[in-house]
């Protein structure tokens, strides 16, 4: 983990700037992947605004992911990822999003980042590690409530 922390200190802002420069195409690509592969994700026919809510989920989820990546890179703080992913899991699971869908979104985000952003090979390796930090954080299982 020390190598990742060193990379964040030395390259976090630069990589964050490059990802932010390409955020529209990265997020749009991820949004399209979500919509294409998870047609029922977040859809609740009991909601009056079911279709609008689902469309907002498809478009906003990648943007929220991007903001979290930006925060971790610019603040050089991996622990933010774990805390935010733990919170997000609780929130999105209540809205019909499944853990494997969150995993897919993370993979697609970093795949799009590697495709569209101009990032050198050393930064790509560190982004791969950052991706695994996200995936690991999404494996979080909340402790069972005490009786």
User: pLDDT grade, residue 124 (50/70/90)?
Assistant: very high
The residue-averaged pLDDT of 103-128 equals 94
Q: Work out the angle at residue 4's Cα, subtended by the Cα atoms of residues 71 and 130, and round it to the nearest 5 degrees.
A: 55
Domains of the chain: 2-137 (1.10.490)
pLDDT digits (tens, 9 = 90+) for 42-97: 888 888 998 888 888 889 999 999 999 999 999 998 889 988 888 888 888 887 88
User: pLDDT grade, residue 110 (50/70/90)?
Assistant: very high
Give just the sign of the alpha carbon dihedral 43, 112, 137, 68.
negative
Rg (CA), the chain: 16
pLDDT at residue 140, rounded to an integer: 62
Is the pLDDT confidence value at 138 over 80?
A: yes
Please tell me whether residue 118 adopts helix, strand or coil conformation: coil
- Count Cβ atoms below 10 Å from residue 20 Cβ, excluding itself: 17
pLDDT at residue 26, rounded to an integer: 97
pLDDT digits (tens, 9 = 90+) for 20-49: 999 999 999 999 999 999 988 888 888 899
Q: How many whole angstroms separate alpha carbon 141 and alpha carbon 146? A: 15
């Amino acid at each position: 983990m020390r190598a990742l922390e060193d990379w964040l200190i030395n390259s976090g802002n630069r990589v964050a700037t490059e990802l932010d420069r390409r955020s529209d195409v990265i997020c749009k690509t991820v949004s399209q992947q979500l919509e294409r592969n998870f047609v029922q994700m977040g859809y609740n026919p009991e909601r009056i605004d079911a279709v609008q809510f689902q469309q907002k989920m498809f478009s906003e989820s990648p943007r929220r992911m991007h903001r979290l990546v930006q925060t971790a890179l610019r603040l050089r703080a991996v622990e933010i990822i774990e805390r935010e992913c733990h919170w997000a899991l609780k929130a999105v699971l209540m809205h019909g999003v499944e853990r494997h869908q969150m995993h897919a979104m993370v993979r697609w985000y970093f795949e799009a980042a590697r495709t569209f952003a101009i990032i050198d090979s050393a930064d790509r390796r560190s982004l791969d590690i950052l991706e695994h930090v996200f995936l690991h954080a999404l494996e979080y299982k909340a402790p069972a409530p005490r009786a």
